[in-house]
Structure 1
Amino acid sequence: MAFCGLARAEEAVLTTPTPQNESASPEDQPSISTSAPALGEFKKALLDRGFNLQINYFGETLGNTGGVRQGAIYEGLLEMSIDGDLQKIAGLKGASFHVNAYQIHGRGLSTYNIFNYSTISGIEARRTTRLFELWFEQEFFDGLASVRIGQLAADTEFILSDIDALYFNGTYGWPNITSTNLPGTGPHYPVTTPGVRLKLTPNDQTTLLLAVFNGDPAGVGLDTALTEIKNPAGINSRLKDPPLAIAEAQYKYTLPIGADGLAGKVRIGGWRHFGKFDDIYFGVDGLSLANPSSNGIPITHVGDFGIYGIIDQMIWRLPGDDPKKGIGVYGFAMACPPNRNLMEFDAQIGVSFAGLWDKRPHDIFGLAASFSKLSSSVQQLDRDAAFYSDPWTPVRNYELALELTYQAQIVPGLIIQPDFQYIFNPGAGAVNPINPTLGKIPNAAVFGLRVGMKY
């Protein structure tokens, strides 16, 4: 989903799951405790002692037409997390810790009904109770630098937009191209892995991030269907796999347009995995792996990588109001080498309308599209398979996901969010795995409703 955010976006959009909202203090984050004095007093008492306790729940109903099967599902996610300010707790200046865990229930629409890459919901995962993140962080030089170490997820800090946290679909946050190309889907919801992260903030506009993770959260390689089975409780803290490194540079700015200016942020980054990856198309004998004469042993490549860019830009804002209220757009693109990856290109675009109605100042409406292109090597392999064996083998090419959503705040910390998605070419044009005689998986329309609560 990708995902890790009840309050990931800087304007405290309520989404799922939850990293910290670093732009807002705990007291300013949306919470139902503001509507219940007893709960508010309890939360404040903990905050005064250095503990930020959060209990968050999301439940959603989703139904589809098209896909492999048609029907409706319910899924839910309960999260408990504690952030500790160790300066208040133990007098350790600049030190903090974080721990959170999930109870995941229900069944996912993509897994059981549609069989597509762009996971319909960011909370979709195997039913279980699991540890997610567990880390310690130390700041240095009055916040100029910080080091975080422990059980980490990459999607709480890397490859994020301030706007994409609004959407249901899991590809907005941890895109399809990383979850399909990295061993074990990479360190993201719902699986994490040991790692260390360095953060530098030389000024108010610039942030530099570098992290090194164990490169496979469950030791399953690219057989990602086994990831959650092999690491069911989130405590399979592997240290022996080749590492994954991610680096990102962020720059915030304000365009001098209008009375108050228009805020924007650019992120440029890349990742490199130091493991071994099989060639998609060529064998060591120089033949196509689909050729019956091939020995079936693929060429081995040392390492894999991807480069990406993200931009968030307000294009209009309410005069004199919150700089995040108005109309904002974002764009994302990532590319990977085609010879060793299922996907070679992934792109997203989205627009959000936040707080435009004075009677509903905290509501947000959004439109987004995600395009995931399978690699040229995969497409050539499919052509060869059709030539050598089955002329009806389709050439898989791309998947396109569209989403339309509206998030309504009932009270602070409680939202209702209706959602519509349409998946073109599910599975990038793959054959129906349940009944191949039916041909390709049909396009799918999805209707959903989510209720979210944050304490």
Structure 2
Amino acid sequence: MCRPAARRPTHSPPQRSLKNTAVNLPSVYLFIQTGYAASNLPKIYKWHRYFNFSIGSLAQMGSVIVRLKDMLPILFLLTAFPVHQATGQEFVGEKAGDPSTNNTSQDLPPYEFTPDDFTPDQLPLVEPMADESDTRLLSPWLKTDNGFTATPVYYGEVFTNAHGGIGTRNSTQYEGLLDLSLDFDFEKMQLPIPGRINLLFQNTHGRGLEQNVGATQIISSIDSLNNITQISELWWEFGLFENRITMRLGKQDLSSEFVTMDSASDFINSAFGLSPSAGLPSFPSPSPAAILLTDLSPSLSFKVGVWDAYHSEEDDVFSRNDSALFIGELEYRYSTRGSQLPGIITLGMAYESPGVVPTGTIPRAFGYYFQFEQLLFREANSTENAPQGLSVFAQHFPIDSTGNSPFPVIVKDILAGFTYKGLIRGRDEDITGAGIGWVELNDGGTGEEFMVELFYKAKINSTLTIQPDLQYINSPSGIFPDALVAGIRFQLDL
């Protein structure tokens, strides 16, 4: 199974030493060691990397400061706004419960009312508490119970390459993605057809930063490389054997069921999901597939699927390249003893058959992946369905190929990180996170790429979410100078 890296500019990268690819400036240094000595580990773990980054004199870092100066006020306001809201809520709560601020006598004995104190038309009325209002723009028209569900979501983001990469000229760009999901439940529609049909329409516009950064782990998960307007998914799902097995047929995204982690879903970098760099049938090029899903027990589930590999927008329904991707996944859900903290362990295997594309022959390939998710700490006031607290995750996905692929291949990848939901008091729906991603490549240069991402995702209301984001990419695609990227994303649940 080949996993081609993203398409990058073909011009020669600037010459530099492979021993020291960092910006060597005085002042403050951040030193990260991402591995052990290569001599003490097998080749599969030869990712002994060091990098340092410093922010010191304005003269030496002028270009970085100029590019970040327009972003910093926005990032500061968006970070401070949740804290300000939380502080205000806490102040109101404390004042409301403080007897010294209430104009009620503490010396009067309590009085218990009886029905005789009121005539029938004078009985006190207690109105039920209203639910939190739904501020979504299209909610009144889309909330139906007739079997048809429409879910429009819009993502927009502005990112800038502040330093390094291919270049910083014209590197502040806007990119947007419109998702429109239409779901038809035949049972609720009272039609003599089992199951349901789902359609996903997608449109991307604007431009990402890959022409400026050159990273294999693409900066944004909504970057489709080339803008698209298409039906990305169209599948029919129905139950078999009294719904003990679910079958899904049609064009679909691999990452909707396979090689995905809920704990990593809020990161912006594409490495924390599946995107063009993975070379798998996912966004922006899903392909026809057939999958089966079943629960072997309340805690153990099994999935298996087959996809048309390397499907492109130039192809018809099928790619006709004779290559198919087979994948299976076993997922185990558990809770720790005592504290009952939920966790997930996932094991997957994938096999890709050989095929032929215009640029060459696709070799036979085999891969496996391991994923781990665990809630380490749950806040006392959170619920089991919506826990607040600290979660960690990790993934490893190596691939072994029998020949040379016509595409640049991601040989191995490793992901790890953590998220915290409700870190700031009074901001229970906000999420903050930090993660790292590493890939081994076969493009020459350093032969690897290392990425770090930090973000804070603030839920303003049921419609709007705002997410400042910062990413540092060490040796993009193994051949470009280290890059520093800053940006902000907003999400509109229409």
> What TM-score do the two structures reach when normalised by structure 1?
0.73
Q: Which amino acid is 2:368 matched to?
A: I
Whether the 8 Å CA contact 2:220–2:269 is kept in 1: the answer is: yes
Whether the 8 Å CA contact 2:363–2:402 is kept in 1: the answer is: no
Matched, 1:449 2:488: yes
Mapped to 1, the partners of 2:451 and 2:492 lie a distance apart of 27
Aligned to 1:264: 343
Q: CA deviation at 1:80?
A: 1.2
Matched, 1:333 2:414: no
Q: Which runs of 5+ in 2 are unaligned?
A: 6-131
Select the residue among 463, 469, 472 that pairs with 1:419: 469
Name the CA shift for 1:73/1:97 in 2 (closer, same or farther; >3 Å): same
Matched, 1:316 2:377: yes
Name the CA shift for 1:414/1:204 in 2 (closer, same or farther; >3 Å): farther
Mapped to 1, the partners of 2:191 and 2:274 lie a distance apart of 36
Whether the 8 Å CA contact 2:366–2:401 is kept in 1: the answer is: no
Aligned to 2:153: 56
Whether the 8 Å CA contact 2:274–2:280 is kept in 1: the answer is: no
Aligned to 1:143: 243
Mapped to 2, the partners of 1:34 and 1:94 lie a distance apart of 32
Select the residue among 455, 458, 466 that pairs with 1:405: 455
For residues 213-232 of structure 1, the aligned pairs below 5 Å read 213-218=307-312, 230=314
Name the CA shift for 1:33/1:145 in 2 (closer, same or farther; >3 Å): farther
Matched, 1:204 2:298: yes
Mapped to 1, the partners of 2:341 and 2:231 lie a distance apart of 39
Mapped to 1, the partners of 2:262 and 2:362 lie a distance apart of 35
Whether the 8 Å CA contact 1:422–1:444 is kept in 2: the answer is: yes
Q: CA deviation at 1:343?
A: 2.8
Q: Which amino acid is 2:159 matched to?
A: L
Q: CA deviation at 1:105?
A: 0.3
Q: CA deviation at 1:89?
A: 1.3
- Structure 1 window deviating more from structure 2 (352-361 vs 53-62): it is 352-361
Aligned to 1:241: 322
Aligned to 2:38: none
Select the residue among 187, 193, 196 that pairs with 1:96: 196
Q: CA deviation at 1:73?
A: 0.5
Whether the 8 Å CA contact 1:318–1:356 is kept in 2: the answer is: no
Mapped to 1, the partners of 2:298 and 2:462 lie a distance apart of 29
Name the CA shift for 1:107/1:368 in 2 (closer, same or farther; >3 Å): same
Whether the 8 Å CA contact 2:160–2:172 is kept in 1: the answer is: yes
Q: CA deviation at 1:157?
A: 0.8
Q: Which amino acid is 2:139 matched to?
A: G
Larger radius of gyration: 2
Whether the 8 Å CA contact 2:423–2:432 is kept in 1: the answer is: no
Mapped to 2, the partners of 1:41 and 1:73 lie a distance apart of 34
SS at match of 2:322: coil
Select the residue among 217, 228, 232 that pairs with 1:128: 228
Mapped to 2, the partners of 1:339 and 1:275 lie a distance apart of 10
Q: CA deviation at 1:239?
A: 5.1
Aligned to 1:367: 434
Whether the 8 Å CA contact 2:439–2:450 is kept in 1: the answer is: yes
Name the CA shift for 1:365/1:92 in 2 (closer, same or farther; >3 Å): farther
Q: Which runs of 5+ in 1 are unaligned?
A: 3-31, 219-227, 279-297, 383-394, 431-440
Q: CA deviation at 1:368?
A: 0.5
Deviations 1:22-78 (A, max 9, x none): xxxxxxxxxx98115x84332222xx1101101110110000121112121000011
Q: Which amino acid is 2:261 matched to?
A: S
Q: Which amino acid is 1:197 matched to?
A: I
Q: Which amino acid is 1:164 matched to?
A: A
Q: Which amino acid is 2:323 matched to?
A: P
Q: CA deviation at 1:155?
A: 1.1
Select the residue among 97, 102, 114 that pairs with 2:213: 114
Mapped to 2, the partners of 1:142 and 1:352 lie a distance apart of 38
Q: Which amino acid is 1:247 matched to?
A: G
SS at match of 2:260: coil
SS at match of 2:477: helix
Mapped to 1, the partners of 2:393 and 2:466 lie a distance apart of 23
Q: Which amino acid is 1:452 matched to?
A: Q
Mapped to 1, the partners of 2:362 and 2:466 lie a distance apart of 47
Aligned to 1:275: 354
Mapped to 2, the partners of 1:373 and 1:257 lie a distance apart of 40
Whether the 8 Å CA contact 2:365–2:401 is kept in 1: the answer is: no
Matched, 1:396 2:396: no
Mapped to 2, the partners of 1:143 and 1:351 lie a distance apart of 36
SS at match of 1:411: coil
- Structure 1 window deviating more from structure 2 (71-80 vs 140-149): it is 140-149
SS at match of 1:88: coil
Q: CA deviation at 1:302?
A: 5.2
Q: Which amino acid is 1:88 matched to?
A: K
Deviations 1:315-368 (A, max 9, x none): 101125223321000000011126646332110001000123331110000000
Matched, 1:172 2:222: no
Whether the 8 Å CA contact 2:142–2:149 is kept in 1: the answer is: yes
Name the CA shift for 1:401/1:410 in 2 (closer, same or farther; >3 Å): same
**How many positions carry a matched residue from both structures?**
353
Aligned to 1:349: 416
Matched, 1:153 2:192: no
Deviations 1:170-213 (A, max 9, x none): 1111278xx45xxxx22100111111001111222111110001
Mapped to 2, the partners of 1:362 and 1:319 lie a distance apart of 15
> What TM-score do the two structures reach when normalised by structure 2?
0.67
Whether the 8 Å CA contact 1:216–1:241 is kept in 2: the answer is: no
Mapped to 1, the partners of 2:256 and 2:133 lie a distance apart of 24
Mapped to 1, the partners of 2:322 and 2:368 lie a distance apart of 22
Across the aligned residues of Structure 1 and Structure 2, the Cα RMSD in angstroms comes to: 2.5
Deviations 1:74-124 (A, max 9, x none): 0001111101111111345750110011111001112x1111101000000
Q: CA deviation at 1:236?
A: 4.8
Q: CA deviation at 1:141?
A: 3.8
Name the CA shift for 1:148/1:332 in 2 (closer, same or farther; >3 Å): same
Matched, 1:42 2:136: no
